[in-house]
A and B are shown apart, each in its own frame.
Chain A
């Protein structure tokens, strides 16, 4: 493993599989009565959250604590950051506190790269702007692997606001590394102009892609995109790109449905689809803790000098 986990592109196939295999073993720990491991005793993990994301922060916090690391939560709200302290000054403060790892969530794409130039510890990207969210992609891959087996040759469809989605970017890169065939489905306005250079296929037609999909991942669509003319109305979006019951029926019988959350039920995904046994949405949350334990263990468990 490299020192940081900032982009899914940082991971070789072997490294990605090592994380998934490690998580597989750690999942057993989550099932037993004493969930705590002594492995990271004396290590300090800082959760540096410049954006509200209680779910992701709690997931990282639980992961670090189950490995016995000391956890410091540093959120931008009510701290010096909101008073205009720069990212660099914050980084130097964390450095002085002896952070072995900094888990950073930031609204600016690339903030983790910048942080990594200012701190000695490992930097874990917990979502940066519209760039990447590698641990989400890892937990998605983990969830898929548990349901589908090895991902080589599997057909994964990602639907929604790819342009603004860090989840989509990380998933495309990681799933490609793991040998899956990814198809992005979105209205053309919500795809980057350069998407043809990505290691995936692109379609505007969800109905054509669904019958050939082993897993369908629905992305959250933010309603404010409508006001910026990315699509005309919620109704039209939902009609063309939402996963409703009729579309769900077109999927192969063993295909699964995923969503990184939080969901807009009734918009990109129908409630009964989200709650079906073929939906992994609840597992994804549990798997989040496990995969983050694996990442923290592999980054911090060994010699980090």
Chain B
């Protein structure tokens, strides 16, 4: 038996992203040198949404890209080889830029670690920041997010699932409890 409940609905996600977009603008003083890089799949969707918000607010077009971290994972040998995601960096690259990595859920921090490794192969950004829709805790590496949509206390046995309109037809974040047997 398992039960899932929505912890964020569409409007919540909308508000969270709006807030993050403002924070990025504020923290990077107008986002002139910012590049948004999403981690496939949903991180890329979120990066594009953030880019659109920032453009709406300030009228500046922020380069958006994606970086696949599959080949940099430290858990590859725990399952069959995974299909690769898309890596697409903005034409101007990342050298000297403020890269904001975007992902949907921050958990152990291993994905972010892999993304940092992958990113370093493409150049030397001036700074790397991390934007996350949901931080569910239980970090296994010294990594923290600069922009957080929602801090969500969870048990390790619970599952957090993010749904986005572009890929899943609706916007929601659900928490699924694995009941004790």
Interface on A for B, CB 8 Å cutoff? 1, 18, 21-22, 25-26, 28-29, 32, 34, 36-39, 67, 297-304
Contacts and interface: CB of A to CB of B under 8 A. Distances in A.
B71 A303 contact: no
Given A32-B122, A38-B71, A39-B71, A302 B76 contact: yes
A1 B79 CA distance: 12
Given A303-B80, A304-B77, 6 more contacts: A21-B84, A28-B87, A37-B71, A38-B71, A297-B81, A301-B82
Contacts of A25: 68, 84-87
B121 A32 contact: yes
B117 interface: yes
Contacts of B163: none
Contacts of B84: 21-22, 25-26
A303 B83 contact: no
A28 B68 CA distance: 11
Nearest to B85: A25
A302 B68 contact: no
B72 A303 contact: no
Interface in B49-83: 68, 71-72, 76-83
Contacts of B88: 28
A21 B76 contact: no
Nearest to B73: A39
A297 B121 contact: no
A36 B87 CA distance: 15
B117 A301 contact: no
A22 B77 CA distance: 17
Contacts of A302: 76-77, 79-82
B165 to A, nearest CB: 25
B20 to A, nearest CB: 28
Given A39-B72, A297-B71, A21 B83 contact: yes
B83 A301 contact: no
Contacts of B68: 25
A123 to B, nearest CB: 16
A301 B88 CA distance: 22
A299 B71 contact: no
